[in-house]
Amino acid sequence: MRLLAQRAPLDAMRAEADSMEAVLFGVAGFLEPGLHERAEPDARDYLRNLWEQWWKCRSRYEFVGHRAIPWKTYGQRPANHPHRRVGALAVLISAWPQFRKLAFARPFEVKPLVDFLHSLEHPFWSRRHTLTATASARHVAVFGRSQALELAANHLIPLAMHEDGMNFRSYHKLRQSSPNDKVKRCSLRLFGSEKAAAPWLKRVCHHQALLQVYQDFCLEDFSDCSNCPFPEQLQQWK
């Protein structure tokens, strides 16, 4: 996603107007001439339109061969598939003025931002997980509440706290919805079970703390916990 943002910067995408979504998927490397022919009948017009818009401007953006973005498209939850992430990004860019107003409001409030992101809709991505997937019988949120809360926790809340747009007491009160895989792995390593970890999985700040421990210790320890320096650090802090 960082490479995609570098190759398709926000200002350029907003200038593309109606072609923006096609450019994002094209730069990501997800479009090809016959894609619509392999898709479900009700998705063919959408995919054909993406390709027809992309080939007109691809010479300005396209990266091929070894410079293609190395996406990981397997072993992930459907909601985390790169196709859906790029689709959500396109929806967010289309609603950028409203998003920016909420993201940079001072004082910063999380609930209005999460409600706004959760309300975003798209005729294709509100029913599908990938470009070629069968339509879901149920509505699929472009931004789930957990995803919206993670966006706020990882990016917007630190900025707001830095700019005195949010105090730590307000941050500490924020409830988390569900732990992601990294938080689950870290909590199992530190507490032995999800049940034992439950008191430390309720708030946004708990998840962020666990992720920091995971980054600083779990990803740096190759001894399967036996030589981890974290317990020694805890003794020093006590």
Report CA Rg, the chain.
Answer: 21
Provide the residue range defining the domain that includes 51.
Answer: 2-172
From its phi and psi, is residue 177 left (phi > 0), alpha (psi between -120 and 50) or beta? alpha
Q: Are 175 and 201 in contact (CB under 8 A)?
A: no
Are residue 185 and residue 151 in the same domain, yes or no?
no
Shared domain for 31 and 91, answered yes or no, is yes
User: Are 84 and 24 contacting, i.e. CB atoms less than 8 angstroms apart?
Assistant: no
Tens-digit pLDDT profile for the chain (238 aa)?
999 999 999 999 999 989 999 999 999 999 999 899 888 899 999 999 999 999 999 999 987 777 889 998 887 788 889 999 999 999 999 999 999 999 999 999 999 999 999 999 999 999 999 998 999 999 999 999 988 998 999 999 999 999 988 999 999 999 987 888 888 888 888 898 889 999 999 999 999 999 998 899 888 888 888 888 888 888 888 7
**Residue 82 CA from chain centroid, whole number:** 9
Please answer whether residues 136 and 128 qualify as being in contact, where contact means their C-beta atoms are separated by less than 8 angstroms.
yes
Are both 147 and 82 inside the same structural domain?
yes
Query: What's the total number of domains in the chain?
Result: 2
Same domain, 155 and 223: no
pLDDT at site 30: 95
Name the domain boundary from 150, 172, 194. Answer: 172
Q: Which residues pair with 203 in a beta bridge?
A: 175
pLDDT at 97: 96
Do both 66 and 142 map to the same domain?
A: yes
pLDDT computed for residue 226 by the predictor: 86
Cα(213)–Cα(209) distance, integer angstroms: 6
The separation between CA 219 and the C-alpha centre of its own chain, rounded to angstroms, equals 21
